[in-house]
Structure 1
Amino acid sequence: MGRRYVEVFRSQRQEYYKAISNEVADARGGSPRVSVPRAKSHDEAKDSAEHTGILRLRGLPFSAGKEDIIEFFSEFGLSEDDIHIILNADGRASGEAYVEFRSAEDSKAAMVKDRKVLGSRYIELFPSTPDEMDDAISRGR
Protein backbone atom coordinates (compact mmCIF):
# COMPACT_ATOMS: atom_id res chain seq x y z
CA MET A 1 0.00 0.00 0.00
CA GLY A 2 1.49 3.26 -1.00
CA ARG A 3 5.22 2.71 -0.65
CA ARG A 4 4.90 -0.16 1.86
CA TYR A 5 5.13 -3.89 1.34
CA VAL A 6 2.04 -5.70 2.65
CA GLU A 7 1.82 -9.38 3.51
CA VAL A 8 -1.42 -11.18 4.28
CA PHE A 9 -1.48 -14.20 6.56
CA ARG A 10 -4.21 -16.54 7.66
CA SER A 11 -4.97 -15.88 11.34
CA GLN A 12 -6.84 -17.60 14.09
CA ARG A 13 -10.21 -16.37 15.32
CA GLN A 14 -8.67 -15.46 18.69
CA GLU A 15 -6.18 -13.12 16.98
CA TYR A 16 -9.03 -11.43 15.11
CA TYR A 17 -11.02 -10.88 18.31
CA LYS A 18 -7.96 -9.51 20.09
CA ALA A 19 -7.32 -7.03 17.27
CA ILE A 20 -10.96 -5.87 17.30
CA SER A 21 -10.84 -5.54 21.09
CA ASN A 22 -7.73 -3.40 20.82
CA GLU A 23 -9.37 -1.20 18.18
CA VAL A 24 -12.43 -0.66 20.39
CA ALA A 25 -10.21 0.19 23.39
CA ASP A 26 -8.26 2.63 21.24
CA ALA A 27 -11.45 4.31 20.00
CA ARG A 28 -12.51 4.80 23.62
CA GLY A 29 -9.25 6.57 24.43
CA GLY A 30 -7.18 3.60 25.51
CA SER A 31 -3.62 3.20 24.38
CA PRO A 32 -3.10 1.67 20.94
CA ARG A 33 -2.17 -1.98 21.29
CA VAL A 34 -2.99 -3.40 17.89
CA SER A 35 -0.22 -5.42 16.34
CA VAL A 36 -0.12 -7.19 13.03
CA PRO A 37 -0.09 -10.93 13.66
CA ARG A 38 2.85 -12.69 12.09
CA ALA A 39 2.57 -16.12 10.57
CA LYS A 40 3.46 -18.34 13.51
CA SER A 41 4.58 -21.38 11.53
CA HIS A 42 6.76 -19.20 9.28
CA ASP A 43 8.45 -17.49 12.25
CA GLU A 44 8.86 -20.74 14.17
CA ALA A 45 10.56 -22.29 11.14
CA LYS A 46 13.01 -19.39 11.02
CA ASP A 47 13.62 -19.57 14.77
CA SER A 48 14.24 -23.31 14.77
CA ALA A 49 16.36 -23.45 11.58
CA GLU A 50 19.97 -24.45 12.00
CA HIS A 51 22.40 -21.58 11.45
CA THR A 52 25.46 -22.24 9.33
CA GLY A 53 26.73 -18.66 9.28
CA ILE A 54 24.90 -17.82 6.04
CA LEU A 55 21.71 -15.79 5.66
CA ARG A 56 19.61 -15.36 2.53
CA LEU A 57 18.17 -11.87 2.09
CA ARG A 58 14.96 -11.45 0.13
CA GLY A 59 13.25 -8.23 -0.93
CA LEU A 60 16.34 -6.10 -1.54
CA PRO A 61 15.96 -2.94 -3.60
CA PHE A 62 17.31 -3.73 -7.06
CA SER A 63 19.69 -0.80 -6.66
CA ALA A 64 21.19 -2.15 -3.41
CA GLY A 65 24.91 -2.81 -3.57
CA LYS A 66 27.34 -4.60 -1.31
CA GLU A 67 28.07 -1.42 0.64
CA ASP A 68 24.35 -1.02 1.45
CA ILE A 69 24.25 -4.56 2.86
CA ILE A 70 27.48 -4.02 4.82
CA GLU A 71 25.91 -0.90 6.35
CA PHE A 72 22.66 -2.80 7.10
CA PHE A 73 24.71 -5.31 9.12
CA SER A 74 27.24 -2.73 10.33
CA GLU A 75 27.73 -4.29 13.76
CA PHE A 76 29.06 -7.53 12.23
CA GLY A 77 32.14 -6.17 10.45
CA LEU A 78 31.40 -7.67 7.04
CA SER A 79 33.50 -7.16 3.92
CA GLU A 80 32.46 -7.09 0.28
CA ASP A 81 33.74 -10.68 -0.08
CA ASP A 82 31.07 -11.77 2.44
CA ILE A 83 28.21 -10.47 0.26
CA HIS A 84 26.84 -12.33 -2.77
CA ILE A 85 24.15 -10.43 -4.69
CA ILE A 86 22.16 -12.82 -6.85
CA LEU A 87 21.69 -11.86 -10.47
CA ASN A 88 18.94 -13.01 -12.79
CA ALA A 89 19.55 -14.51 -16.24
CA ASP A 90 19.84 -11.00 -17.71
CA GLY A 91 22.63 -10.11 -15.29
CA ARG A 92 20.46 -7.75 -13.24
CA ALA A 93 19.96 -7.90 -9.47
CA SER A 94 17.19 -10.32 -8.50
CA GLY A 95 16.37 -8.75 -5.11
CA GLU A 96 18.13 -11.58 -3.25
CA ALA A 97 21.57 -11.89 -1.71
CA TYR A 98 23.50 -14.23 0.53
CA VAL A 99 25.66 -13.01 3.39
CA GLU A 100 28.44 -15.06 4.97
CA PHE A 101 28.94 -14.18 8.63
CA ARG A 102 32.00 -15.01 10.72
CA SER A 103 30.07 -17.64 12.70
CA ALA A 104 26.71 -19.35 13.10
CA GLU A 105 26.22 -17.28 16.27
CA ASP A 106 26.66 -14.05 14.27
CA SER A 107 24.12 -15.12 11.64
CA LYS A 108 21.66 -16.01 14.38
CA ALA A 109 22.23 -12.64 16.09
CA ALA A 110 21.73 -10.89 12.73
CA MET A 111 18.19 -12.27 12.55
CA VAL A 112 17.08 -9.25 14.64
CA LYS A 113 17.26 -7.40 11.30
CA ASP A 114 14.53 -9.64 9.84
CA ARG A 115 11.71 -7.49 8.41
CA LYS A 116 13.69 -4.25 8.83
CA VAL A 117 13.94 -1.68 6.06
CA LEU A 118 16.94 -1.25 3.78
CA GLY A 119 16.48 1.77 1.55
CA SER A 120 12.78 1.75 0.77
CA ARG A 121 12.28 -2.01 1.03
CA TYR A 122 11.33 -4.45 3.73
CA ILE A 123 13.96 -7.19 3.94
CA GLU A 124 13.31 -10.78 4.97
CA LEU A 125 16.13 -12.95 6.32
CA PHE A 126 16.36 -16.72 6.18
CA PRO A 127 19.02 -19.06 7.55
CA SER A 128 20.73 -20.75 4.61
CA THR A 129 23.45 -23.23 3.74
CA PRO A 130 26.63 -23.11 1.63
CA ASP A 131 25.02 -25.46 -0.90
CA GLU A 132 21.91 -23.28 -1.28
CA MET A 133 24.09 -20.18 -1.67
CA ASP A 134 26.38 -21.81 -4.26
CA ASP A 135 23.36 -23.08 -6.17
CA ALA A 136 21.75 -19.60 -6.29
CA ILE A 137 25.00 -17.96 -7.36
CA SER A 138 25.61 -20.47 -10.17
CA ARG A 139 21.99 -20.20 -11.47
CA GLY A 140 22.22 -16.41 -11.68
CA ARG A 141 25.38 -16.21 -13.72
Structure 2
Amino acid sequence: MFYRGKYMDGGDGREMGPKRQRILDQPPSFYGASAGSSFMYNAAPYADAGQPPPFPVIRLRGLPFDCTEADVTEFLHGLDIVDVLFVRKNGRFSGEAFVVLCYPLQVDFAIQKNRQNMGRRYIEVFRSKRQEYYKAIANEVSEARGGSPRRSARARSYDEGKDSAQHTGVLRLRGLPFSAGKDDIMDFFKDFVLSEDSVHITLNMDGRPTGEAFVEFANPEDSKAAMSKDRMTLGSRYIELFPSSHEELDEAVSRGR
Protein backbone atom coordinates (compact mmCIF):
# COMPACT_ATOMS: atom_id res chain seq x y z
CA MET A 1 0.00 0.00 0.00
CA PHE A 2 1.05 3.63 0.17
CA TYR A 3 3.20 5.28 2.80
CA ARG A 4 2.00 8.72 3.83
CA GLY A 5 4.50 10.68 5.84
CA LYS A 6 6.34 13.93 6.36
CA TYR A 7 9.74 14.86 5.05
CA MET A 8 12.27 17.38 6.19
CA ASP A 9 11.81 19.67 3.19
CA GLY A 10 8.55 20.94 4.60
CA GLY A 11 5.83 19.00 2.74
CA ASP A 12 2.97 17.73 4.82
CA GLY A 13 0.98 15.74 2.29
CA ARG A 14 -1.86 18.23 1.81
CA GLU A 15 -3.58 18.43 -1.55
CA MET A 16 -2.00 20.26 -4.48
CA GLY A 17 -5.04 20.44 -6.73
CA PRO A 18 -8.86 20.58 -6.45
CA LYS A 19 -10.09 17.63 -4.41
CA ARG A 20 -6.88 15.72 -5.20
CA GLN A 21 -4.31 14.79 -2.59
CA ARG A 22 -0.75 14.73 -3.90
CA ILE A 23 0.78 12.10 -1.64
CA LEU A 24 3.81 10.18 -2.86
CA ASP A 25 3.41 6.45 -2.54
CA GLN A 26 6.23 4.55 -0.88
CA PRO A 27 6.75 0.82 -0.30
CA PRO A 28 6.42 -0.44 3.28
CA SER A 29 10.19 -0.95 3.52
CA PHE A 30 10.93 2.76 3.08
CA TYR A 31 12.42 3.16 6.56
CA GLY A 32 14.41 -0.05 6.46
CA ALA A 33 16.60 -1.95 4.05
CA SER A 34 14.86 -4.35 1.71
CA ALA A 35 16.27 -7.84 1.71
CA GLY A 36 17.30 -7.74 -1.95
CA SER A 37 18.70 -4.22 -2.02
CA SER A 38 22.39 -3.55 -2.48
CA PHE A 39 22.02 -0.12 -0.90
CA MET A 40 21.27 -0.27 2.80
CA TYR A 41 19.61 2.79 4.31
CA ASN A 42 20.67 3.57 7.88
CA ALA A 43 18.05 5.75 9.53
CA ALA A 44 20.14 6.28 12.66
CA PRO A 45 21.65 9.70 11.70
CA TYR A 46 18.16 11.14 11.19
CA ALA A 47 16.79 9.47 14.30
CA ASP A 48 19.63 10.94 16.39
CA ALA A 49 18.96 14.39 14.98
CA GLY A 50 15.25 14.06 15.77
CA GLN A 51 14.22 14.72 12.16
CA PRO A 52 12.71 12.60 9.37
CA PRO A 53 14.81 11.61 6.34
CA PRO A 54 14.95 13.86 3.25
CA PHE A 55 12.67 13.16 0.32
CA PRO A 56 14.61 10.87 -2.10
CA VAL A 57 14.09 12.47 -5.52
CA ILE A 58 16.50 13.33 -8.34
CA ARG A 59 16.11 15.14 -11.65
CA LEU A 60 17.47 13.92 -14.98
CA ARG A 61 18.16 16.28 -17.90
CA GLY A 62 19.16 15.62 -21.50
CA LEU A 63 17.09 12.46 -21.95
CA PRO A 64 16.46 11.20 -25.51
CA PHE A 65 13.02 12.19 -26.74
CA ASP A 66 12.07 8.55 -27.25
CA CYS A 67 13.12 7.68 -23.70
CA THR A 68 10.92 5.26 -21.75
CA GLU A 69 10.62 4.35 -18.07
CA ALA A 70 12.48 1.14 -18.87
CA ASP A 71 15.40 3.20 -20.24
CA VAL A 72 15.54 5.23 -17.02
CA THR A 73 15.42 2.05 -14.95
CA GLU A 74 18.33 0.62 -16.94
CA PHE A 75 20.33 3.87 -16.64
CA LEU A 76 19.89 3.75 -12.84
CA HIS A 77 20.46 0.00 -12.70
CA GLY A 78 20.83 -1.28 -9.14
CA LEU A 79 18.72 1.48 -7.56
CA ASP A 80 15.20 0.92 -6.24
CA ILE A 81 12.87 3.19 -8.23
CA VAL A 82 9.46 4.14 -6.87
CA ASP A 83 8.33 6.53 -9.60
CA VAL A 84 9.46 8.09 -12.89
CA LEU A 85 7.74 11.32 -13.95
CA PHE A 86 8.59 12.68 -17.40
CA VAL A 87 8.32 16.47 -17.65
CA ARG A 88 6.24 17.78 -20.55
CA LYS A 89 5.73 21.34 -21.74
CA ASN A 90 2.79 22.16 -23.98
CA GLY A 91 2.21 18.45 -24.42
CA ARG A 92 5.76 17.69 -25.56
CA PHE A 93 8.49 15.85 -23.70
CA SER A 94 11.09 18.33 -22.42
CA GLY A 95 13.96 15.84 -22.08
CA GLU A 96 13.74 16.00 -18.28
CA ALA A 97 12.35 13.61 -15.68
CA PHE A 98 12.00 13.28 -11.92
CA VAL A 99 12.88 9.94 -10.35
CA VAL A 100 11.79 9.01 -6.82
CA LEU A 101 13.97 6.40 -5.10
CA CYS A 102 13.21 4.12 -2.18
CA TYR A 103 15.93 5.37 0.18
CA PRO A 104 17.55 8.79 0.71
CA LEU A 105 21.02 7.24 0.60
CA GLN A 106 20.37 6.08 -2.97
CA VAL A 107 20.35 9.71 -4.11
CA ASP A 108 24.12 9.78 -3.51
CA PHE A 109 24.58 6.72 -5.71
CA ALA A 110 22.36 8.24 -8.42
CA ILE A 111 24.43 11.43 -8.48
CA GLN A 112 27.44 9.30 -9.45
CA LYS A 113 25.63 8.68 -12.75
CA ASN A 114 25.93 12.38 -13.65
CA ARG A 115 27.19 12.83 -17.25
CA GLN A 116 27.09 9.13 -17.99
CA ASN A 117 25.59 8.13 -21.33
CA MET A 118 22.17 6.82 -22.28
CA GLY A 119 22.71 5.75 -25.85
CA ARG A 120 24.58 8.60 -27.54
CA ARG A 121 23.52 11.26 -25.07
CA TYR A 122 25.08 12.09 -21.73
CA ILE A 123 22.60 12.62 -18.93
CA GLU A 124 22.83 15.26 -16.23
CA VAL A 125 21.71 14.12 -12.77
CA PHE A 126 20.74 16.62 -10.07
CA ARG A 127 19.41 16.49 -6.53
CA SER A 128 15.85 17.74 -6.40
CA LYS A 129 13.15 18.54 -3.86
CA ARG A 130 9.71 17.27 -3.03
CA GLN A 131 8.13 20.62 -3.98
CA GLU A 132 9.67 20.50 -7.47
CA TYR A 133 8.42 16.97 -8.04
CA TYR A 134 4.91 17.82 -6.84
CA LYS A 135 4.82 20.93 -9.02
CA ALA A 136 5.61 18.73 -12.03
CA ILE A 137 2.77 16.38 -11.03
CA ALA A 138 0.35 19.32 -10.77
CA ASN A 139 1.39 20.59 -14.21
CA GLU A 140 0.96 17.12 -15.72
CA VAL A 141 -2.53 16.70 -14.29
CA SER A 142 -3.48 20.24 -15.38
CA GLU A 143 -2.44 19.55 -18.97
CA ALA A 144 -4.22 16.19 -18.98
CA ARG A 145 -7.44 17.91 -17.95
CA GLY A 146 -7.16 20.59 -20.62
CA GLY A 147 -5.04 23.22 -18.89
CA SER A 148 -4.52 25.08 -22.18
CA PRO A 149 -6.82 25.58 -25.20
CA ARG A 150 -4.32 23.86 -27.49
CA ARG A 151 -4.09 20.84 -25.22
CA SER A 152 -7.83 20.82 -24.66
CA ALA A 153 -8.56 20.40 -28.38
CA ARG A 154 -6.21 17.42 -28.61
CA ALA A 155 -7.60 15.94 -25.40
CA ARG A 156 -11.19 16.15 -26.70
CA SER A 157 -10.25 14.31 -29.89
CA TYR A 158 -8.33 11.74 -27.85
CA ASP A 159 -11.25 11.17 -25.51
CA GLU A 160 -13.71 10.83 -28.39
CA GLY A 161 -11.57 8.01 -29.77
CA LYS A 162 -11.69 6.22 -26.42
CA ASP A 163 -15.45 6.67 -26.16
CA SER A 164 -16.05 5.14 -29.58
CA ALA A 165 -13.75 2.13 -29.00
CA GLN A 166 -15.33 -1.31 -28.72
CA HIS A 167 -15.22 -2.86 -25.26
CA THR A 168 -14.32 -6.50 -24.68
CA GLY A 169 -14.22 -6.45 -20.87
CA VAL A 170 -10.47 -5.71 -20.70
CA LEU A 171 -8.85 -2.35 -19.87
CA ARG A 172 -5.18 -1.40 -20.14
CA LEU A 173 -3.80 0.92 -17.44
CA ARG A 174 -0.83 3.20 -18.12
CA GLY A 175 1.17 5.41 -15.76
CA LEU A 176 1.06 3.18 -12.67
CA PRO A 177 3.57 3.83 -9.87
CA PHE A 178 6.24 1.11 -9.96
CA SER A 179 5.32 0.16 -6.39
CA ALA A 180 1.61 -0.37 -7.15
CA GLY A 181 0.38 -3.89 -6.46
CA LYS A 182 -2.76 -5.80 -7.32
CA ASP A 183 -4.47 -4.66 -4.12
CA ASP A 184 -3.91 -1.02 -5.09
CA ILE A 185 -5.45 -1.56 -8.53
CA MET A 186 -8.41 -3.42 -7.04
CA ASP A 187 -8.91 -0.52 -4.63
CA PHE A 188 -8.73 1.91 -7.58
CA PHE A 189 -11.67 -0.01 -9.11
CA LYS A 190 -13.38 -0.63 -5.78
CA ASP A 191 -16.83 -0.06 -7.29
CA PHE A 192 -16.39 -3.19 -9.41
CA VAL A 193 -16.10 -6.86 -8.49
CA LEU A 194 -12.52 -7.95 -9.21
CA SER A 195 -10.22 -10.70 -8.02
CA GLU A 196 -6.44 -10.85 -7.94
CA ASP A 197 -6.55 -13.23 -10.92
CA SER A 198 -8.26 -10.56 -13.00
CA VAL A 199 -5.42 -8.04 -12.49
CA HIS A 200 -2.25 -8.48 -14.56
CA ILE A 201 0.73 -6.19 -13.89
CA THR A 202 3.12 -6.33 -16.84
CA LEU A 203 6.87 -6.77 -16.35
CA ASN A 204 9.86 -6.10 -18.57
CA MET A 205 12.53 -8.66 -19.47
CA ASP A 206 14.31 -7.99 -16.15
CA GLY A 207 11.17 -8.76 -14.19
CA ARG A 208 10.56 -5.12 -13.23
CA PRO A 209 7.12 -3.44 -13.50
CA THR A 210 6.60 -1.46 -16.71
CA GLY A 211 4.06 0.97 -15.25
CA GLU A 212 1.24 -0.78 -17.14
CA ALA A 213 -1.37 -3.37 -16.21
CA PHE A 214 -4.42 -5.09 -17.65
CA VAL A 215 -7.69 -5.65 -15.80
CA GLU A 216 -10.35 -8.18 -16.81
CA PHE A 217 -13.87 -7.14 -15.84
CA ALA A 218 -16.91 -9.40 -15.57
CA ASN A 219 -18.35 -8.07 -18.86
CA PRO A 220 -17.90 -5.31 -21.46
CA GLU A 221 -20.52 -3.15 -19.74
CA ASP A 222 -18.40 -3.04 -16.56
CA SER A 223 -15.20 -2.17 -18.44
CA LYS A 224 -17.01 0.65 -20.24
CA ALA A 225 -18.38 1.97 -16.94
CA ALA A 226 -14.88 1.75 -15.40
CA MET A 227 -13.62 4.22 -18.02
CA SER A 228 -15.08 6.90 -15.73
CA LYS A 229 -11.87 6.40 -13.69
CA ASP A 230 -9.72 7.54 -16.64
CA ARG A 231 -7.12 10.10 -15.48
CA MET A 232 -8.01 9.73 -11.81
CA THR A 233 -5.07 9.40 -9.45
CA LEU A 234 -3.55 6.35 -7.81
CA GLY A 235 -0.97 7.52 -5.29
CA SER A 236 0.86 10.42 -6.93
CA ARG A 237 0.10 9.44 -10.54
CA TYR A 238 -2.90 9.98 -12.73
CA ILE A 239 -3.82 6.76 -14.52
CA GLU A 240 -4.75 6.54 -18.19
CA LEU A 241 -7.24 3.85 -19.20
CA PHE A 242 -7.64 2.29 -22.64
CA PRO A 243 -10.10 -0.29 -23.97
CA SER A 244 -8.10 -3.42 -24.76
CA SER A 245 -8.57 -7.09 -25.62
CA HIS A 246 -7.66 -10.53 -24.32
CA GLU A 247 -5.23 -10.90 -27.21
CA GLU A 248 -3.34 -7.74 -26.24
CA LEU A 249 -3.36 -8.87 -22.61
CA ASP A 250 -1.91 -12.30 -23.45
CA GLU A 251 0.79 -10.75 -25.64
CA ALA A 252 1.84 -8.24 -22.96
CA VAL A 253 1.95 -10.87 -20.21
CA SER A 254 3.98 -13.29 -22.34
CA ARG A 255 6.64 -10.63 -23.03
CA GLY A 256 7.43 -10.41 -19.32
CA ARG A 257 7.87 -14.16 -18.80
User: When the two structures are superposed, what TM-score results if normalisation uses the length of structure 1?
Assistant: 0.77
- Give the residue type in structure 2 aligned to 1:44: E
Q: Which has a greater percent of helix?
A: 1
**Partner of 2:163 in structure 1?**
47
- Give the residue type in structure 2 aligned to 1:121: R
Deviation at 1:129, TM superposition (A): 0.5
Task: Determine which structure has more spread, i.e. the larger CA radius of gyration.
Answer: 2
How far apart, CA to CA, are the structure 2 residues paired with 1:86 and 1:101? 17
Identity across matched positions, percent: 63
**Partner of 2:64 in structure 1?**
none
- Give the residue type in structure 2 aligned to 1:2: Y
Q: How does 1:121-140 map to 2 (within 5 A)?
A: 121-140=237-256
**Partner of 2:197 in structure 1?**
81
Q: Unaligned stretches of 5+ in structure 1?
A: 17-35
Q: Unaligned stretches of 5+ in structure 2?
A: 1-131
Deviation at 1:2, TM superposition (A): 3.1
- Give the residue type in structure 1 aligned to 2:256: G
Which range moves more in the overlay, 74-83 or 37-46?
A: 37-46
What is the count of residue pairs matched by the alignment?
119
How far apart, CA to CA, are the structure 1 residues paired with 2:161 and 2:192? 24
* Structure 1 residue 98 corresponds to structure 2 residue 214: yes
How far apart, CA to CA, are the structure 1 residues paired with 2:251 and 2:191? 28
Deviation at 1:40, TM superposition (A): 2.1
- Give the residue type in structure 2 aligned to 1:6: E
- Give the residue type in structure 2 aligned to 1:103: N
The structure, 1 or 2, with the larger RCO (C-alpha pairs under 8 Å, 6+ apart) is 1
Runs of 4+ aligned structure 1 residues displaced above 4 Å come to: none
Deviation at 1:42, TM superposition (A): 1.1
How far apart, CA to CA, are the structure 2 residues paired with 1:103 and 1:96? 21
Post-superposition CA distance 1:37-69 (Å, at most 9, x none): 251221111000000000000000000000000
